[in-house]
């Protein structure tokens, strides 16, 4: 059965979803497109050659006019909660971009609505859908080199070329921790198979930065299995850039696991047993990666009725880590996370 989807949010990222992800999936049919901004809607209609009668300024109108099974939310953060609740209360499944809510309380509202209406609500944590993190998670689960006790992660990019405060990325809220590091936080949980307990963080805005809010930060995160993660990220680094997933060095009892994923540099996983040479691990072929992998997992969850691994219920823990890190940076003190 083909899943009929209404897409909400047709800015630059939303248009990319429409043209490069949704349209390429044979198990999905886009039946309507929504954006509250008339100019954005008309621009997408023209550039994507969308039928005018299937383009709407509100999700409510779209759901009244077309038959749909699910809603894809690619709008900016302020549109996430109202779109998700509208869709779930109309009995539709929901796939959303991250971060999926501006507060933990609102995130819980969405999760409760999905439970009440027995619908799938999934977050597109697309960095999970690559071979390297899957292979590493398996190595850790099997304790190939024993327990992990320390992890060092570096993310470096120089995205600082537009005039200060000019547009989009340069003026968004928490451009590092909320827009980028949330991917790394989610990978930490996935790969380690542990949950965060405490975080400290320092962010800053270097003199060379064209960002309104801090694009650079460092954090220390303690997990419930005893692993301590040292994390560094920057949008304005002049050092060699990393892949989008960052560079990972995972120190285990019997050696080290080194890996990277998603980017211009080759994806790889290497293991260095203590006292021995580094060896590379052959990565499996993944026909669908990144957002295509997310969308495919969503379709499978809807068809099977099984909760996906990045359901809202699970991703709430990633969201909580993101907000705890932001709180730690703002308060200059450690922040504890609880199981609740």
Residue 171 has a CB neighbour count (10 Å cut-off) of 14
- Looking at the structure, tell me whether residues 225 and 114 fall in a common domain: no
Q: Domain with 78 in it: what CATH number?
A: 3.40.50.720
Q: Quick one: pLDDT at residue 340?
A: 66
Is 64 part of a structural domain of the chain? yes
- Looking at the structure, tell me whether residues 180 and 228 fall in a common domain: yes
CA distance 159 to 199: 26
Tell me the pLDDT of the chain (340 aa) as tens digits.
899 999 999 999 999 999 999 999 999 999 999 999 999 999 999 999 999 999 999 999 999 999 999 999 999 999 999 999 999 999 999 999 999 999 999 999 999 999 999 999 999 999 999 999 999 999 999 999 999 999 999 999 999 988 887 777 788 889 999 999 999 999 999 999 999 999 999 999 999 999 999 999 999 999 999 999 999 999 999 999 999 999 999 999 999 999 999 999 999 999 999 999 999 999 999 889 999 999 999 999 999 999 999 999 999 999 999 999 999 999 999 999 987 6
Beta strands 70-73 and 93-96: pairing type? parallel
Number of domains observed in the structure of the chain:
2
Is 315 part of a structural domain of the chain? no
Among residues 119, 148, 173, the one where a domain terminates is 119
Q: Quick one: pLDDT at residue 162?
A: 84
- Looking at the structure, tell me whether residues 162 and 235 fall in a common domain: yes
DSSP 52-112: GGGEES-HHHHHHHS--SEEEE-S-GGGHHHHHHHHHHTT-EEEEPSS--SSHHHHHHHHH
Is 188 part of a structural domain of the chain? yes
- Looking at the structure, tell me whether residues 82 and 145 fall in a common domain: no
Contacts by 111-118, CB closer than 8 A, 24 or more apart: 111/312, 111/313, 111/316, 113/84, 113/85, 113/88, 113/89, 114/88, 114/312, 116/88, 117/88, 117/89, 117/91
Is 306 part of a structural domain of the chain? no
CA angle at 89 for the pair 88 and 93, rounded to the nearest 5°: 20
- Looking at the structure, tell me whether residues 182 and 253 fall in a common domain: yes
Among residues 72, 92, 119, the one where a domain terminates is 119
262 SS3 class: coil
Q: Quick one: pLDDT at residue 170?
A: 86
The residue count of the chain comes to 340
Among residues 119, 136, 166, the one where a domain terminates is 119
- Looking at the structure, tell me whether residues 249 and 112 fall in a common domain: no
The domain in which residue 102 lies consists of 3-119
> What's the burial of 312, exposed, middle or buried (CB within 10 Å: 0-12/13-18/19+)?
buried
Is 259 part of a structural domain of the chain? yes
CA angle at 84 for the pair 78 and 85, rounded to the nearest 5°: 105
- Looking at the structure, tell me whether residues 179 and 241 fall in a common domain: yes
- Looking at the structure, tell me whether residues 112 and 139 fall in a common domain: no
Q: Quick one: pLDDT at residue 169?
A: 79
Q: Domain with 198 in it: what CATH number?
A: 3.30.360.10
Is 227 part of a structural domain of the chain? yes
Is 46 part of a structural domain of the chain? yes
- Looking at the structure, tell me whether residues 136 and 263 fall in a common domain: yes
- Looking at the structure, tell me whether residues 332 and 207 fall in a common domain: yes
CA distance 278 to 332: 39
- Looking at the structure, tell me whether residues 192 and 244 fall in a common domain: yes
Token couple for 161: 């070329």
- Looking at the structure, tell me whether residues 236 and 203 fall in a common domain: yes
Q: Measured on CA atoms in the order 126, 128, 131, 133, is the torsion positive or negative?
A: positive
Is 221 part of a structural domain of the chain? yes
């Amino acid at each position: 059965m083909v899943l009929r989807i209404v897409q909400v949010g047709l800015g630059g990222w939303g248009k990319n979803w429409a043209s490069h992800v949704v349209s390429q999936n044979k198990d999905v049919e886009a039946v309507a497109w929504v954006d509250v901004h008339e100019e954005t809607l008309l621009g997408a209609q023209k550039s994507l050659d969308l039928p005018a009668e299937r383009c709407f300024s509100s999700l409510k109108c779209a759901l009244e006019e077309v038959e749909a099974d699910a809603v894809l939310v690619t709008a900016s953060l302020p549109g996430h909660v109202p779109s998700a609740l509208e869709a779930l209360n109309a009995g539709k499944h929901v796939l959303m971009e991250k971060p999926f809510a501006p507060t933990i309380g609102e995130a819980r509202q969405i999760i409760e609505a999905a439970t009440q209406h027995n619908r799938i609500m999934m977050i597109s944590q697309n960095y999970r859908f690559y071979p390297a993190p899957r292979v590493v998670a398996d190595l850790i689960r099997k304790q190939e080199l024993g327990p992990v006790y320390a992890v060092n992660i570096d993310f470096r990019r120089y995205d600082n070329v537009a005039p200060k405060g000019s547009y989009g990325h340069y003026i968004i809220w928490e451009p590092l921790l909320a827009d980028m590091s949330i991917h790394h936080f989610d990978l930490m949980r996935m790969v380690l198979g542990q949950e965060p307990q405490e975080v400290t963080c320092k962010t800053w805005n270097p003199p060379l930065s064209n960002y309104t809010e801090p694009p650079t930060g460092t954090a220390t995160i303690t997990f419930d299995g005893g692993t301590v993660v040292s994390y560094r990220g920057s949008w304005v680094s002049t050092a060699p850039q990393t892949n989008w997933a960052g560079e990972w060095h995972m120190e285990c009892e019997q050696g080290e696991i080194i890996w990277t994923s998603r980017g211009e540099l080759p994806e790889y996983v290497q293991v260095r047993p203590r006292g021995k040479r580094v060896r590379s691990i052959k990565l499996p072929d993944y026909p669908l990666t990144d957002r295509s992998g997310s969308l495919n997992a969503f379709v499978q969850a809807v068809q099977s009725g099984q909760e996906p691994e990045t359901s809202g219920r699970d991703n709430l823990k990633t969201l909580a880590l993101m907000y705890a890190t932001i709180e730690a940076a703002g308060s200059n003190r450690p922040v504890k996370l609880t199981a609740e």
